[in-house]
A = this chain, B = another copy of it.
Amino acid sequence: MTKPLTILDIARLAGVGKSTVSRVLNHDARVKDSTRAKVQAVIDQHGFLPSKSARAMRAQRSGVVGVIVAKLSSNSENTALTGLLNTLYAKGYDAAIMESQFSQQKAQAHLDVLKRRNVDGIIFFGFSGCDLNALAPFAPNCVVLAVDSEQYASVSYDNQGAVTQVMDHFYRQGCRHIAFLGIDERDETTGLARSDAYQHFCQTHQLSPQLHRCEMSLHAAYAATDCLLTPQTDAIVCASDTLALGVAKRLQTLNRENIAIGGIGNHDMLRFMFPRAVSVELGYHQAGQHAAELLLKQLDDEVTTITHWTQPCHLVTP
């Protein structure tokens, strides 16, 4: 490990002053071309890299954005994260990723840490019952994902469109007894918004709703299936692919595989295990990218207008 060169070393090597090197580094226009070339040559030759820490200290910015996801193991979240990271890194930012594990307390703890780290901004993946007010110290440099918010820029999924598309698909196929499995309505998006869309569809299409809620887990969905079934049931729409997997498994066990299944999230596993199931692609990857772009725009342009973006979705059929 040879000691890294500093801007001063380069200056001496090039026979100029520190500030000239600094100007070259920062693409300052007022440097004579010949001087610039000379300095740049020395820089390239030694593979000199300006210290990020020193820059950060000088600029009072860390060049790091905090990202709080609920669970890395969640398909939706790690897909969005992938899109998000690419964008961030491309722009020279680092990301500090932490898991809230659906706990407001942990989220708060992480926000405290991130505050201490002096992150330049926050991208927060919302979850049931999260308190967005905790983001206040970072305002307006934060973007929330997967939930709506008036106070912060947000990127959300088209919950209503997703449910409507699946319902419409089944309806066109002739289903008239479409049940719905959702989650707790205190969850405003996956819970409330999606079940509302279901009920609204039923209302406008003269269907009698058959709705049940359970925990967001394979086993819960499996168990809940029985509460949903009637002899006439011809389709079941689920608020997520995880639920759909649980339900489909139960239907398989019950030998009621004639019942159509619809999910939301376009999870590989659902397609593979139950190829006849349909699902909605919510655009996780793009949503992640968009969230990052939004944040960076806020950081750079000092834009203070709060933007809200709803990611378009589309149905995926076998």
Dominant secondary structure of chain A at its interface with chain B: helix
Contact B118 A52 (CB under 8 A): yes
Cβ of A64 within 8 Å of any chain B Cβ, yes or no, is yes
- Given A118-B52, A272-B219: A96 and B94 interface contact (C-beta under 8 Å): yes
Cβ of A290 within 8 Å of any chain B Cβ, yes or no, is no
Contact A53 B51 (CB under 8 A): no
Cβ of A155 within 8 Å of any chain B Cβ, yes or no, is no
- Which A residues from 57 to 90 make CB contacts under 8 A with B? 57, 62, 64, 72-73, 75, 78-79, 81-82, 85, 89
- Given A96-B95, A116-B52: A73 and B82 interface contact (C-beta under 8 Å): yes
Cβ of A303 within 8 Å of any chain B Cβ, yes or no, is no
Number of copies: 2
| B contact residues around A116 at 8 Å (CB) | 49, 52
Per the CB 8 Å criterion, the residue count for chain A at the interface is: 40
Write the A268-285 contact mask toward B (1 if CB under 8 angstroms, else 0). Answer: 110011000000000000
Extra pairs beyond A53-B57, A218-B268 (16, CB < 8 Å): A4-B118, A49-B115, A53-B62, A53-B118, A54-B57, A64-B94, A72-B79, A73-B75, A82-B99, A85-B99, A89-B98, A95-B97, A222-B272, A245-B269, A245-B272, A249-B273
